[in-house]
């Protein structure tokens, strides 16, 4: 479903929440975006998305992370709607075609990452190969937990931006 900005501005709050939750699973982000409507332009919407995200903290970030499947998997811990699930699959398309050995390495690094940091490995995977995603994860394992949480939050912000763009430019 592609949507025009004036349509987003005129939808019911409930329907807007559904669309925005496809972009980011943090409830306070969704509510903050909903409260800022109407948006005068898509650029204003993107600025609002970044501003609202910047106002959130670790609990919100973890809530958003839970709405993503692990790299190399299809299901997230928290329920995703069909649009978000399709976007996740598309963002990880290069991983789906990776060989079994690479899938096993990704699964192993996912487990190690979660044990070290307490949340799934979040990365804006769009356009990245399975090998690149594996290398990024291994590199990030060297981060201090507080640093890595901020890195993961920034990756979530990038994913949210990408999905907002898709909301206005793609059909699903």
Do the Cβ atoms of 49 and 164 come closer than 8 Å? yes
Q: What is the b/e burial string over 72-87, where b = at least 16 CB atoms within 10 angstroms of the residue's CB?
A: bbeebeeebeebbbeb
CA distance 115 to 54: 26
Tell me which of 62, 68, 103, 119 is the catalytic residue. 68
Our answer to whether residue 103 is catalytic in this structure is no
Buried b / exposed e along 44-60 (16+ C-beta atoms within 10 A): ebeebbeebbeebeeeb
Active-site positions read: 68
């Amino acid at each position: 479903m592609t949507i025009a900005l004036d349509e987003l501005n005129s939808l019911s709050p409930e329907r807007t929440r559904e669309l925005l939750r496809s972009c980011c699973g943090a409830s306070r982000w969704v509510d903050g975006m909903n409260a800022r409507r109407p948006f005068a332009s898509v650029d204003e919407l993107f600025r609002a998305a970044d501003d609202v995200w910047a106002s959130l903290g670790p609990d919100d970030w973890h809530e958003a992370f839970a709405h993503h499947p692990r790299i190399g998997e299809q299901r997230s811990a928290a329920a995703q709607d069909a649009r978000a699930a399709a976007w996740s699959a598309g963002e990880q398309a290069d991983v789906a075609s990776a060989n079994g050995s690479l899938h096993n390495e990704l699964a192993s690094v996912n487990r190690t990452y979660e044990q070290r940091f307490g949340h799934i490995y979040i990365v804006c995977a769009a356009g990245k190969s399975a090998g690149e995603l594996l290398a990024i994860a291994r590199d990030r394992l060297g981060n201090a937990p507080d640093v890595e949480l901020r890195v993961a939050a920034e990756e979530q912000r990038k994913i949210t931006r990408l999905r907002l763009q898709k909301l206005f430019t793609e059909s699903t």
